[in-house]
Amino acid sequence: VKVPVIGSLNGATQGGWVEYARLIEQAGADALELNVYFIPANPYVKGEEVERRYVEILRDVKRSVSIPVAMKLSPYFSSVGDVARRLVDEGADALVLFNRFYQPDIDIDNLEVTPRLALSQPHELRLPLCWVAILYGELLTDFAVTSGVHSHEDVLKSLMAGAKVAMMASELLQNGVGRVTRILEELEQWMTEREYVSVKQMIGSMSRTNVADPAAFERANYMKMLASYRKTEARGRQ
């Protein structure tokens, strides 16, 4: 293929992460994503232990391979920014925001806990969009947005927030890989109409460091959000 191939790895043991990272590199991958899917179900596991596990996995893998390594994070940390900074300091070449934990469902007829995959929805884009916009310019690393990317508008928002990659597995599973062609066409049309020469012009253009009102990404946005809902509802009743 003529595009870079990025392997995504989900391990279970420290040794397993390293072993399979090496195998993926030997197979010819251009880069590696560490997809840490860990739910600390034990209530006695402290938050700092969970964070340390992420850092140690990254450190061990980085020492074992020479290709770039991206770290895929969940949003469930007390301080997402601090964890992101520690991973970048440890050598993460990119951060992927955010991992989606697939919660099981309960079958009330058969009284069983059952796996049930729910694909992402467009509204889920807002959380990774917010954090990429906050961290862009603060951390010297690349960002990828995952969860909720379904259209060319979603790709544009991801780029403007500061991401260099927009992942859209759910959209392709729903509508086929041919959807990529249409999205690229719509993206190019949008850029042409607004006289963009390259996507580089828009990367980070709407991040917290570049917008006129940085507080829009923080607590100060809370009341505006509630007010916007009331205005929308009022217009809908007219």
**What radius of gyration do the chain's Cα atoms show?**
20
pLDDT of residue 216: 75
Note the residue count of the chain.
Answer: 238
pLDDT at 233 over 70: no
Instruction: Give the pairing of strands 105-107 and 112-114.
Output: antiparallel
- Contact indicator for 93, 116 with CB cutoff of 8 Å: no
Instruction: Give CA–CA dist 47/35, Å, rounded.
Output: 19
Instruction: Give CA–CA dist 19/35, Å, rounded.
Output: 15
**H-assigned helices in the chain:** 14-26, 47-64, 80-89, 126-135, 152-161, 169-175, 179-193, 221-237
The mean-pLDDT minimum among 4-13, 193-202, 228-237 falls in 228-237
Span 166-225, pLDDT tens digits: 999 999 999 999 999 999 999 999 999 999 999 999 999 999 989 887 777 776 566 667
Span 50-64, pLDDT tens digits: 999 999 999 999 999
The mean-pLDDT minimum among 86-90, 101-105, 170-174, 224-228 falls in 224-228
- Contact indicator for 189, 183 with CB cutoff of 8 Å: no
Residue 86, Cβ density class (10 Å: 0-12 exposed, 13-18 middle, ≥19 buried): middle
Domains of the chain from N-terminus onward: 6-211 (3.20.20.70)
Span 118-166, pLDDT tens digits: 899 999 999 999 999 999 999 999 999 999 999 999 999 999 999 999 9
